[in-house]
Amino acid sequence: MKFNPLKRSYLALESWFNVSFGDWNPLYHLGTLTFFFFWVVLVSGLYLFLPFQGSLEGAYASVEYMTHEQWYIAGVMRSLHRYASDAAIITILLHMFREYALGRHKGFRWYSWFTGVPLLWMVVTVGITGYWLVWDMLAQYIAIGSAVLMDALPIFFGSMTSNFLEGEMTDRFFILIEFLHLLGQPMLLVFALWFHVRRMSNVDINPPRGLAVGSMIALLVLSFWKPAVSHEPADLSSVPQVLNIDWFYLNAYPLLDYWTAGQVWLLTTSVTVVLMLLPWIPIRKTGPAAEVKLSRCNGCAQCFDDCPFDAISVQNRTDGLKYDKEVRVIPSLCAACGICVGSCHQSNPFRTTPAVLDSAIDMPQFPVNEIRSKTEQAVAELQGEVKVLMIGCDHGFDVTLLDAPDTRGVSLFCSGMIPPTLVEYALKKGADGVMLVGCRDNDCFYRFGHDWMKKRLAGERKPILRARADRRRIAYQGGAETDRKPIERALAVFRAELKEVADEPEQMDTNGATK
């Protein structure tokens, strides 16, 4: 695995957050937290709309009334609206940085990154029009700056700035901004968010309840401790002297004090283009897509349910067999994760006919027959008192680093690629125990691989691990590439438990068979 200092540094930071937050680590839920903050912005914004007066004369007065006269309700709502908006920008930026640091913006993920970058600017423009509606000195500064930026585009020809310099700002123009902020921009944002996640299945937009409650409490505390307030009322006959800039939304405007509007456009456009092109700098190719073998497929659609990226479809049967449905892989959407292989009942390694294990859906570069062969070879090489087979994930900790006479590792594309019967098969072939090592909990590289694997072993998701398998001889430990020590400790504990199991006297069931 190629050494990546940025990735390793970030993984170390997440380790510290795991210790502090456990399953509520906010770094694992940045996307859902952003949606949560959007909900806070929406609800608080709807409340603020009721007493707001959308006019040049009434806007500032109505905002001041809410802030000071009804500080205990409307004032808090205004502060929540402001701070939740800032929090959304923070989580978006952290989400982008995390995906980049972990290399999760390339290959099959290019679409999510490419559509996500414009989302940031869409959220920023919504915030800009929101500041405009307050119609204080900061709003005036934003309005004139926005007009200068718009006039630099060839479609306006210098007409917008004159509205402010000549005092021609009217209620009609102000109402247009109100429409954009309350309806037009949010509708476009909702559509863009749908576009951003449309190539993923089972999308969850809700963060863990405890994390949502904690975030809400933090926003409320901040709203009471430092309420959002306005500047002096807008006055087009004067120039603002002192302004408190919200750098999350208004960072481009101070550049107009030193640069031309064309230079500001050049900078923001260049940064945007570079960010959008990052998935191809350098190019990373995704492996060959999964292949369906209809002669073995019964159309159960379990692979369709399990696919994290909506790359499998279900349609009517085309080969004339007795089954009603069949599955098809959409190569352009396939992440080559192999989770569908673990979903397929035909991936059972206990099958002896035909001689080559042939699954209904398989990865051509690493077919299930080869997985069975590698497992058999690894188990055959085990020696010692307590023999442990480790089955790992290519995007987590490299289990082959712990190879020893009594330990062997086999790495798959994803822990979700493991057929549950493969675990039982390894125990049948002579392993004393099997340790499954996927990505860190809540952080599967392929979104759901480790979740599906654990649910299959627990009998909560098909295909399940059969009841006769000895669960005491199976362990799971999540870990990233920097988590060698925790995995070594977990392996030592598992080995000690296996020794206790081996020392227990055999028990017989009512039929005289060994339990």
User: DSSP secondary structure string, 360-373?
Assistant: SEE-TTS-HHHHHH
Residue whose tokens read 């390793």: 8
The answer to whether the CB of 334 falls within 8 A of the CB of 309 is yes
For residues 105, 107, 112, 114, the Cα torsion angle rounded to the nearest 10 degrees is 80
The answer to whether the CB of 480 falls within 8 A of the CB of 401 is no
- Give the pLDDT confidence score for residue 236 in this predicted structure: 79
**Nearest Cα residue to 27 out of 36, 16, 37:** 16
Integer Cα distance of 306 and 421 in angstroms: 17
- Give the pLDDT confidence score for residue 42 in this predicted structure: 96
The answer to whether the CB of 289 falls within 8 A of the CB of 331 is yes
SS3 call for 315:
strand
All residue ranges of the chain with pLDDT < 50 are 508-514
Q: How many other CB atoms are there within 10 angstroms of residue 458's CB atom?
A: 13
SS3 call for 107:
helix
SS3 call for 514:
strand
Integer Cα distance of 228 and 222 in angstroms: 10
- Give the pLDDT confidence score for residue 56 in this predicted structure: 84
Q: Can you give the pTM of this predicted structure?
A: 0.92
- Give the pLDDT confidence score for residue 74 in this predicted structure: 95
Assigned token pair, 456: 């299959």
Let me know how many helices (H) and strands (E) the chain has, helices first: 17, 8
CA distances from 16 to 24, 104, 105, 347, 440 (A): 13, 21, 24, 38, 13
Q: How many other CB atoms are there within 10 angstroms of residue 159's CB atom?
A: 11
> What are the residue ranges of helices labelled H in 198-260?
209-225
- Give the pLDDT confidence score for residue 413 in this predicted structure: 97
- Give the pLDDT confidence score for residue 514 in this predicted structure: 47
Instruction: Identify residue 146 by its one-letter amino acid code.
Output: S
Residue whose tokens read 């959407």: 333
According to DSSP, the residues that pair with 292 across neighbouring strands are 361
**Nearest Cα residue to 104 out of 24, 202, 6:** 6
- Give the pLDDT confidence score for residue 289 in this predicted structure: 97
Where does 5-277 sit in CATH, by number?
1.20.810.10
Domain with CATH 1.20.810.10 in the chain: 5-277
